[in-house]
A and B are shown apart, each in its own frame.
Chain A
Amino acid sequence: MAWTKWSYMDHWVTETPQGPQPPSFNRAYMDRYVKELSALGFTGFDTFFFYLPLYAGMYGGVPGFERFLQDNGFEKITGIFSAYPSATKYAAPHVRETHDRIVADCTNTLRMCEGLTGVENFIVMPTSTYWQTEPVTDDTIKVVADLWNRVGELTRRHGMTTTCHFEFWGAIRTREQVDTFLAHTDPELVRFFCDTAQHTIAGVDPVQLFRDYADRCTGFHFKDTKDVDEHEAYRTPPDPELMAPQVTRWFYEMGEGGLVDFPALMKEIVASGYDGWLTVEHDKAELGGGSYAEATAVAKWYIDNVLAEAEAEARAELGSAR
C-alpha cells in the first residue's frame, strides 16, 4: 500500500490584489490553499511557530484552525517548526545565558498547541547562523545540546518530540558536527529530522545520514537542491539562504533534476521500518518565476508515481527477504 502519511510544510505564496502574499492574507485565501493541498492528497500539516498567533486569530485558536484543516480532509497538525536563525542578545542557542528565555518561548508555543489532536514533532533549528556562532567547537555543540535536552524534556511532557533540523548555514552542519551533537544529546529526548536538501548542500549524504540515525529520525523534509555549497556560502552574513553570491535559489521541489536521490531514500525508509509522517517542503519556490501551487502538484506527482514505485519495490524486497 502506498504511503499515506504525507504532510505539507507551510510555505506558500499566492497572487492577491496586494501582490504575492502568503495565504494568511485572509480566510478566503486560506480556504483555497488548504483545498489545493487536500486535493493533492496531503493529510498532515506542518507549520511555523510564528504563524500560530495568526491562525489562532483567524480561527479562534489553534485548535479552531486544526478543525478547519480537518473539515477539509486533513488528519491533523503534524509538526511545529521553531527557530532562532539570527542570534540576538536575547536568544542564541550557543549562549547558555539565553537558554531560559528560549525555554520560555518554547513553553509559550506549546501552550498555543494545547487541545490539538496530536502534534508529533517540535522541529527546531538547533543553532543560529554559522557566522554568528563560529568558532564552532565541541564545547559550543555541548552548550547547544544542553539546551535541546531541556527543551526535549519539556516537549515530551506535552506529547511532542523535539527533533533537530540542520541547516546548511547553521553552526551544526558537517557530518562530524551532527555526530557530535547527537552524541551529546539524550537519544530519548532529542531526535533527528532529515532535510534532504539542507544536508546535500552542506555536503552530507542525507540517505547515509538517515541510515546511520534511523532509530533517532522522526521526520523528513523532502525537498531538492541543485547545488552543493562549494564556496563557503554558508558563512555569508547576514544570510546565506538568500544572499549567497553564487547561488540565487537553493531549493527546488522533487522531480526537477536535483541532486537528492529520493527513490533511494524512500527505499531506505521502508527498509528501516519507519512509519511516521513524510513532509514535502519547497521553500522559496517562487524564485525565478516558480509557483507554489505548481511546485506542490509536481512534487505530489513525483510522490504518486516515482516514489510509490520505489516504495513498492522496497516492500517487495522486504517481503522476499522474509
Chain B
Amino acid sequence: MRDTLRWAYALNQWNVRLDVFVRHEDQQRALKTVSACGFDTIELASGTGRWDNISRPEVILTNHGSHAGFLDFLRRARVQGVSSMFWDPQAPAEEEEGYAFRSTADPDDADAIVEWSRPFVDFVAGVGAEQLVVRPVGSAWMTPPLDADGIKRVGDVWNRVGELTSAAGIGLAVHYDCLGAVHTEAELTGLLDATDPARVGFALDTAELTVGGIDPVAFYRAHADRVAHVHLKDTRHADTGEEYRMPGAESTMLKGGAGRRIERWFFELGTEGGLVDVPGFVAALREHDYPGWVVVESDHGGNPAELAMLNSWYLQHELGIAK
C-alpha cells in the first residue's frame, strides 16, 4: 500500500487449526495472496510445535535455517518483511515448560514468563520486525477480578519484558482483547499507567475494543502517545451482556456456544452492519501522524484469501489508498 501510514497484513486466519498451513507451498500461496492484495509486510502469530512452522520462532528457524533464510522465503513471494509478532504467554505451548499453564496475574509465574519471552524477542529483532505484540493477561473468566495491585503485577511483568525488548531494539505492545481480564476502560488505562511508557506501548485492536465496549476512536485520541501498534478489523457485535465472563468464553462467547449464540464476531472492513468507524479511526491516526504499523486482520473470520481481498478493496476504494 502506497500511503503515509504503514500497512501490514496478519497471517493468523490462514493458521486456523492444529494441522493446517504447514507445507511451504501453502504458505507461499498465502504470501502471494497478501502480496497481490497490496501488502508487502506481514504479522506473525505465535503457536507451538512442529506444525506451527510459521508461528513458533524455534520451528521457523528449523525450517529456514536462519532469520535471513526466513526472510528469503518471504521474499520469494515479494513479501519484504515482518512488522510484528503476536504472543500469548497464557496459551500453553510445548516449548514453554511442556504446555505449562501460567498467567501474568500470578506473581509466581512472572520469572518464567519473562524467560519464555526471550525466543520471541530474539526472533522479532532477528527478522527486523518492530513490535512484539502480547496478550498481557489471560481471560477474565479464568481469574478473580483484578484489583489495582493485580493490574500492577501484570504491568510489572511487561515492564520486565520491555527491558528485554528495549535492549534488543524493538518495541513491546500490550494488546487488548475482548475476553481479557483487563476489560474495562478503567482497567485498560490502569494497565497503561502501570507500564513504563518508554518501554511498553499499546496495541490497539479496533474490533476487540468495540466488542469490549470501548470506543476505539475516542480511546486512540485519548492515548495516542501510547499506541505503538494497531490491529484493524471490524465487528458486528458488542458484548452488551457481559458474555466475556461466561466460563469457556473462547467458545461460549466467541464461537456462539452459549449466551446470544453469536458464532462469528469479527468481520472484514466494510462489512454490513460493522460497528467500527474505520474511516474515522484511520483519520485519527493520520491526524496524530501515527508512526507504527497498521495491521489488517481477518482472524476468526472465514476464507482468508477472500477476506484479504475484501480488506484490500476497502483500503483502496473506501479509504482511497493506492495499492
Q: Which residues of A does B touch, CB under 8 Å?
A: 13, 16-22, 24-28, 54, 57-58, 85-86, 88, 90-91, 101, 105, 129, 237-239, 241-243, 248, 283-284
- Asked if A57 and B247 make an inter-chain contact with CB atoms under 8 angstroms apart, the answer reads yes
How many angstroms between the C-alpha atoms of A88 and B303 in the bound complex? 34
Q: Which of A16, A88, A238 contacts B263 (CB 8 A)?
A: A16
Whole-angstrom distance between the Cβ of A132 and the nearest chain B Cβ: 9
A18/B17 contact (C-beta < 8 A), A26-B252, A85-B49 known: no
Q: Which of A58, A86, A238 contacts B257 (CB 8 A)?
A: A58
Whole-angstrom distance between the Cβ of B246 and the nearest chain A Cβ: 11
- Report 10 cross-chain contacts, Cβ distance below 8 Å, ordered by A residue: A16-B263, A17-B256, A24-B251, A25-B263, A58-B248, A90-B98, A238-B53, A243-B24, A248-B23, A283-B19
Asked if B94 is at the interface of the complex by the 8 Å CB criterion, the answer is yes
- Asked if B17 and A22 make an inter-chain contact with CB atoms under 8 angstroms apart, the answer reads yes
Report B38-66 CB contacts with A as 1/0, cut-off 8 Å: 00000000000111010000010011000
Q: Which residues of B, 244-258, contact A by the 8 Å Cβ criterion?
A: 247-248, 251-252, 255-258
- Asked if A86 and B49 make an inter-chain contact with CB atoms under 8 angstroms apart, the answer reads yes
A85-B50, A90-B97 known, 16 other contacts, Cβ within 8 Å: A16-B255, A16-B263, A17-B263, A19-B301, A21-B16, A24-B251, A25-B251, A26-B256, A28-B257, A57-B251, A91-B94, A105-B98, A238-B53, A238-B63, A242-B22, A248-B23
Whole-angstrom distance between the Cβ of B279 and the nearest chain A Cβ: 26
Q: Which of B53, B255, B304 contacts A239 (CB 8 A)?
A: B53
How many angstroms between the C-alpha atoms of A238 and B47 in the bound complex? 14
Residues of A within 8 A of B17 (CB): 13, 20-22
- Asked if A242 and B19 make an inter-chain contact with CB atoms under 8 angstroms apart, the answer reads yes
- Asked if A88 and B94 make an inter-chain contact with CB atoms under 8 angstroms apart, the answer reads yes
Whole-angstrom distance between the Cβ of A255 and the nearest chain B Cβ: 23
Residues of B within 8 A of A243 (CB): 22-24, 53
- Asked if B264 and A242 make an inter-chain contact with CB atoms under 8 angstroms apart, the answer reads no
Residues of B within 8 A of A90 (CB): 94, 97-98
Residues of A within 8 A of B24 (CB): 243
- Asked if B16 and A18 make an inter-chain contact with CB atoms under 8 angstroms apart, the answer reads yes
- Asked if A26 and B257 make an inter-chain contact with CB atoms under 8 angstroms apart, the answer reads yes
- Asked if A238 and B301 make an inter-chain contact with CB atoms under 8 angstroms apart, the answer reads no
Whole-angstrom distance between the Cβ of A282 and the nearest chain B Cβ: 13
- Chain B residues touching A, majority SS: loop
- Asked if A19 and B263 make an inter-chain contact with CB atoms under 8 angstroms apart, the answer reads no
Sort A-B residue pairs by CB-CB distance and give the 8 closest, nearest first: A26-B257, A90-B98, A17-B264, A239-B50, A238-B50, A242-B22, A17-B263, A57-B248
A86/B252 contact (C-beta < 8 A), A19-B301, A19-B303, A238-B50 known: no
- Asked if B257 and A18 make an inter-chain contact with CB atoms under 8 angstroms apart, the answer reads no
Asked if B13 is at the interface of the complex by the 8 Å CB criterion, the answer is yes
Asked if B302 is at the interface of the complex by the 8 Å CB criterion, the answer is yes
- Asked if A238 and B62 make an inter-chain contact with CB atoms under 8 angstroms apart, the answer reads yes
- Asked if B301 and A27 make an inter-chain contact with CB atoms under 8 angstroms apart, the answer reads no
Q: Which residues of B, 82-136, contact A by the 8 Å Cβ criterion?
A: 94-95, 97-98
- Asked if B264 and A58 make an inter-chain contact with CB atoms under 8 angstroms apart, the answer reads no
Q: Which residues of B, 1-48, contact A by the 8 Å Cβ criterion?
A: 13, 16-17, 19, 22-24
Whole-angstrom distance between the Cβ of A38 and the nearest chain B Cβ: 21
Question: Quick one: closest A residue to B48, CB to CB?
Answer: A86
How many angstroms between the C-alpha atoms of A239 and B48 in the bound complex? 13
How many angstroms between the C-alpha atoms of A238 and B252 in the bound complex? 34
- Asked if A19 and B16 make an inter-chain contact with CB atoms under 8 angstroms apart, the answer reads yes
A242/B23 contact (C-beta < 8 A), A17-B263, A18-B302, A21-B17 known: yes
Whole-angstrom distance between the Cβ of A58 and the nearest chain B Cβ: 7
Asked if B160 is at the interface of the complex by the 8 Å CB criterion, the answer is no
How many angstroms between the C-alpha atoms of A25 and B17 in the bound complex? 11
Residues of A within 8 A of B264 (CB): 17-18
How many angstroms between the C-alpha atoms of A27 and B246 in the bound complex? 14
Asked if B152 is at the interface of the complex by the 8 Å CB criterion, the answer is no
A88/B301 contact (C-beta < 8 A), A17-B263, A18-B16, A242-B19 known: no
How many angstroms between the C-alpha atoms of A288 and B95 in the bound complex? 31
Report B286-302 CB contacts with A as 1/0, cut-off 8 Å: 00000000000000111
- Asked if A91 and B98 make an inter-chain contact with CB atoms under 8 angstroms apart, the answer reads yes
Whole-angstrom distance between the Cβ of B66 and the nearest chain A Cβ: 15
How many angstroms between the C-alpha atoms of A114 and B102 in the bound complex? 25
How many angstroms between the C-alpha atoms of A27 and B300 in the bound complex? 18
Q: Which residues of B, 224-257, contact A by the 8 Å Cβ criterion?
A: 247-248, 251-252, 255-257
- Asked if B95 and A88 make an inter-chain contact with CB atoms under 8 angstroms apart, the answer reads yes
